[in-house]
A = this chain, B = another copy of it.
Amino acid sequence: MTQHPTLGIGLAGFGTVGSGVWNTLHRNGALITSRTGGGVSLEVERILVRDPNKSRATTLDADPGLLTTNWRQLVDDPKVEIVVELIGGTTTAFDIAEAALQAGKPVVTGNKALLAERGIELFALSRETGVPIHFEAAVAGGIPIIRTVMDSFVGNHIQSFFGIINGTSNHILGRMTDAGLTFGEALAEARSLGYAEADPTLDVNGWDAAHKAILLATLAYGFPIDPGAVHVSGIEQVRPMDIAFATRLGYAVKLLAVIREHAEGGVELRVQPSFIPNSHILASVHGVFNAVAVNSDAAGESLFYGRGAGQDPTASSVVADLVEAARGARHVESHRGFLPYRETGALIPVEDTATSYYVRFDVTDRPGVIADVARILAERGIGISGTHSPVNPDDPDADFVDMVFLLHTCPFGRLQGALAEIEALDCINSTPVVFRIETLA
């Protein structure tokens, strides 16, 4: 196995996502190398910027000598082996991708508009040259839905997708639902919070979601899709009364992308504001989060949920594609299976892990039992947030009752010590039963 062949990257675009990629590679580069069995080491060799004199975040210590304003210099640089296109748009971005493929350099892009509108040309060139285009970052930011559809579901006929794939729209609809805001108020708030772009047109009119849906459908069904044939409507017309009506009927209002293959042939593809049942897991997708529910003939129902945009989530997907591109590069022979990459590591003893708790005791009811238990807990510094006994009020004179304590956060070992002491009391009839209370944070 070749050890640590460094792969040179050309980063076209050094804005939000581009600098996120830079940061991620610097923060986690060594981790990536060890996880790939020493097979993949990535190095940014060229950065395309619009204005080399623009001041950049001080966290980015990119050598000014890497910067160029001429994209040909980046693509033609012999040290650049993989080209990352993050400039957006469908003109220069196309030229960069085309030139890279022609030069035999894999392309990684997050540009959904480019692929939805000009993917036919680029995929044809990819086939002709044998050089891949990777685009995980183009759909749903940090959610690995592209790889899931292409690789994990390669053996599935996909029956449908239901996607919440525009975080701005979802955030606006959520605020209209939770706070009763009008569309205009919620949009203004989203802009002030940075959840909407300066020009949010493509977000609220449904076309950002439509571009992503076109890519998903292309992956699942394999044929080129004309964006002009896709029915798209956005959320501009949604009013608080619509949401109130939906809520009353047990629905959530979502901008929903629907892709569905009909049994009799043909693919349905549309983006529209929709009422969806509150009982469906998609209705639990709040704020700027995205989710894609997939129904397929082998895997069945599944759902992929996460951050659909933002610097770091999108960078996560670009970096995953970079590793994939690097593995595919001819001179890297990388072990494709899992290999342990640390010799040793420590499991934290469960005694040292802390949460709050629910504990149930089976007690013989006698005066002083609560006092005894509470004293033992107090002696060990374990706070009680609630207690309830007897739990079964149907039989107030029962000798054996269940007694429940809710306990503040403490190390499990401390709780175990207290419970051992409590279990030894003559009024405790069996080993106490413990449930963790998890905040999931």
Chain A interface (Cβ within 8 Å of chain B)? Answer: 1, 20, 24-25, 27-28, 31-32, 34-37, 106, 120, 123, 126-127, 130-136, 142-144, 146-148, 150-157, 162, 218-219, 221-226, 229-231, 233, 237-239, 241-242, 245-246, 249, 251, 253, 256, 258, 262, 265-270, 272-277, 280-282, 284-285, 289, 293, 296-307, 310, 312-313, 315-317, 319-320, 322-325, 327-328, 335-348, 350, 353, 358, 360, 388, 391-392, 402, 404, 406, 412, 433-440
Q: Give the Cβ gap from A145 to chain B, nearest Cβ, in Å.
A: 9
Sample of 20 more A-B contacts, CB < 8 Å, known A144-B148, A152-B320, A325-B336: A24-B298, A31-B155, A126-B337, A132-B337, A133-B337, A150-B338, A218-B340, A226-B347, A237-B433, A238-B433, A241-B404, A246-B435, A262-B348, A272-B435, A272-B436, A274-B435, A281-B281, A299-B313, A301-B307, A328-B336
Main secondary structure of the interface of A (DSSP, over half): mixed
Q: Which residues of B contact A301 (CB under 8 A)?
A: 289, 306-307
Contact with A335, one of B130, B273, B293 (Cβ below 8 angstroms): B130
Nearest first, the 5 closest Cβ-Cβ pairs linking A and B are: A132-B337, A302-B306, A223-B345, A155-B319, A144-B152
**Cross-chain contact A276 with B438 (CB below 8 angstroms):** yes
**Cross-chain contact A154 with B435 (CB below 8 angstroms):** no
Q: Which residues of B contact A37 (CB under 8 A)?
A: 127
Q: Which residues of B contact A360 (CB under 8 A)?
A: 239, 241-242
Provide the bound-state CA to CA distance between A130 and B130, in Å: 26
Q: Which residues of B contact A328 (CB under 8 A)?
A: 336
**Cross-chain contact A267 with B347 (CB below 8 angstroms):** yes
**Cross-chain contact A300 with B320 (CB below 8 angstroms):** no
Q: Which residue of B lies closest to A248 (CB)?
A: B388
**Cross-chain contact B35 with A265 (CB below 8 angstroms):** no
Provide the bound-state CA to CA distance between A242 and B433, in Å: 10
**Cross-chain contact B266 with A154 (CB below 8 angstroms):** no
**Cross-chain contact A282 with B440 (CB below 8 angstroms):** yes
Contact with A300, one of B133, B146, B312, B324 (Cβ below 8 angstroms): B312
Contact with A127, one of B245, B327, B335, B412 (Cβ below 8 angstroms): B335
Provide the bound-state CA to CA distance between A285 and B285, in Å: 13
Provide the bound-state CA to CA distance between A307 and B303, in Å: 10
**Cross-chain contact A270 with B353 (CB below 8 angstroms):** yes
Q: Which residues of B contact A231 (CB under 8 A)?
A: 350, 412
Q: Which residues of B contact A266 (CB under 8 A)?
A: 345-348
**Cross-chain contact B281 with A317 (CB below 8 angstroms):** no
**Cross-chain contact B347 with A230 (CB below 8 angstroms):** yes
Q: Which residues of B contact A289 (CB under 8 A)?
A: 301
Provide the bound-state CA to CA distance between A299 and B136, in Å: 12
| A/B interface sample: 7 pairs, CB < 8 A | A147-B152, A156-B316, A219-B338, A223-B340, A239-B433, A289-B301, A300-B306
**Cross-chain contact B307 with A304 (CB below 8 angstroms):** no
**Cross-chain contact B358 with A242 (CB below 8 angstroms):** yes
Contact with A302, one of B156, B305, B339 (Cβ below 8 angstroms): B305
Provide the bound-state CA to CA distance between A435 and B253, in Å: 9
Provide the bound-state CA to CA distance between A277 and B265, in Å: 43
Provide the bound-state CA to CA distance between A182 and B36, in Å: 48
Q: Which residues of B contact A320 (CB under 8 A)?
A: 151-155
Q: Give the Cβ gap from A196 to chain B, nearest Cβ, in Å.
A: 19
Provide the bound-state CA to CA distance between A34 and B440, in Å: 42
Max chain B CB contacts within 10 Å: which of A268, A341, A348? A348
**Cross-chain contact B439 with A277 (CB below 8 angstroms):** yes
